[in-house]
Chains A and B, each alone.
Chain A
């Protein structure tokens, strides 16, 4: 279990977190090795999440969802992340898209779509990155075309995680062909209106079960499927903070799993030599300090967002953007540090691919964290914002 309890221990565990724990242990963990070895979609874990209502957790009750808070969903992501990073990442990415729709979609058609996501357990994917713009997701080359209330969109997407398994892909594009690169909208591309032409395969170092292939996305549909708010607002108020919060919650799960292995390894050694503290115990103490840092930055930023999430004046402020960016950079760096410390503690048992203490997959997954929107890019953004920031 985690070192520090978010709710200070008094509250009972939330049903959705309990469900995530159960699915993590019973479904995701037993499949994780095969998911990783074959770079395949964690179908059984996603099916179990759908059955347990996890895919509709963030949707308000009046639209057919469970009305959970982001904090609850984030805790669920951490639980899943302890057992299969890929399944947890698919879940986190889906929730990021749901959060954007729930806050920024108002057309009756999109509200019906949200009800569908809740009723049928639809899975949503994301195409924000585009060939040629690198990781700068606040600018698009492609634009929404079409007339008479219909849209047409073609986007060269270098990565759409689990694109082939998704029921809809939310894609960014310029509002129209005359718009500047940063005047973007978010388009809901439903599976029945969507063609994905594979452009690259997915055989990567980590997060292998996310099946993050490159595609040419071609979509059509009614213009009412374009999310109402400008993407700039969606990004600063919801997509960026929610992404950083859910991703870092997942990295906390990876770090916790690594720490659990290290602790069990040290405790096993201690049982063999009662009366002496094994030398690795000191390293475990150090690891626990870093895990506690990660825990605090994740929970603290989660709490900060919960306090201001519905106040656009706050969520579009510079101080807020800086702190959400700082969360991503710190958490993605600390997770690697923690898994590496666990590896030193477990030694060859951690280095071996088949041992109860193996850390290879966790280490490889942890390295993906700094690249999912490159930390250099995020630090460069913060460097710019800090030139005018006043308060932290």
Chain B
């Protein structure tokens, strides 16, 4: 799942650095993730993993690191991407 999250982040996160150089716990906002880009990341994650983030997860902390994102996806029951 980590790899799929990274590919969504590199396609939609508009980070000024290569996503693969980031540790799973690195603070994505410090790395340049804007709230605009985080919305696009969210939409792409929902599409890729065929899930919908509930309101309770629509906050900054859900998207602050790759670990936090995978934890949220796991909690939503996302397994493998519905599309590759």
Number of interface residues of A (CB under 8 A): 28
In the bound complex, do residue B58 and residue A390 qualify as a contact, i.e. CB atoms below 8 Å apart? Answer: yes
Residues of chain B from 39 to 82 with CB closer than 8 A to chain A in the complex: 39, 42-43, 46, 53-55, 58-61
Chain B nearest Cβ from A385, distance in angstroms: 6
Q: Does B7 contact A (CB under 8 A)?
A: no
Q: How far is the CA of A179 from the CA of B32 in the complex (A)?
A: 8
B35/A319 in contact, CB under 8 A: no
Given known pairs A139-B34, A180-B16, the reply for A390 and B29 (CB within 8 Å) is no
Chain B proximity of A183: nearest CB distance (Å): 5
Contact A389–B30 (Cβ < 8 Å): no
Cβ B55 vs Cβ A319 within 8 A: yes
Residues of A within 8 A of B54 (CB): 390
B58 touching A388 by the CB < 8 A rule?
yes
Contact of A230 with B29 in the complex, beta carbons under 8 Å:
yes
**What is the chain A residue whose CB lies nearest that of B31?**
A180
Interface digits, A318-332 against B, CB 8 Å rule (1 contact, 0 not)? 110100000000000
Question: What bracket does the count of chain B residues touching chain A fall in?
Answer: 20 to 34
Cross-chain contact B30 with A183 (CB below 8 angstroms): yes
A181 beta carbon closer than 8 Å to chain B: yes
Determine if B53 and A388 form an interchain contact, defined as CB atoms under 8 angstroms apart.
Answer: yes
User: Is B36's CB within 8 Å of the partner chain A?
Assistant: yes
A317:B59 contact, CB within 8 angstroms:
yes
**Closest residue to B38 on the A side, CB-wise?**
A388
- Contact pattern, A 366-392, Cβ under 8 Å of B = 1, otherwise 0: 000000000000000100110111110
Residues from chain B with Cβ under 8 Å of A139 in the complex = 34
Contact A138 B43 (CB under 8 A): no
Contacts of A181 in B (CB 8 A): 32
Nearest-neighbor residue (CB-CB) of B52 within chain A: A390
Contact B32 A182 (CB under 8 A): yes
In the assembly, what is the distance between CA of A242 and CA of B40, in Å? 27
Report yes or no: B60 in contact with A236, Cβ–Cβ below 8 A.
yes
Check B58 against A387 for contact (C-beta < 8 Å).
no
Query: Closest residue to B35 on the A side, CB-wise?
Result: A138
Q: Which residues of the partner chain B approach A317 to less than 8 Å between Cβ atoms?
A: 55, 58-59
B59 to chain A, nearest CB (A): 4
| Chain A, Cβ-Cβ closest to B58 | A318
Q: Which of B32, B46, B53, B61 contacts A183 (CB 8 A)?
A: B32
Given A180-B16, A182-B34, A317-B55, A388–B60 Cβ distance below 8 Å?
A: no
Contact A388 B39 (CB under 8 A): yes
Task: Give 6 pairs: A residue, B residue, CB < 8 Å, sorted on A.
Answer: A182-B33, A313-B61, A387-B43, A388-B39, A388-B43, A390-B55
Counting from the closest, the 3 A-B pairs by CB-CB distance are A180-B32, A316-B60, A390-B55
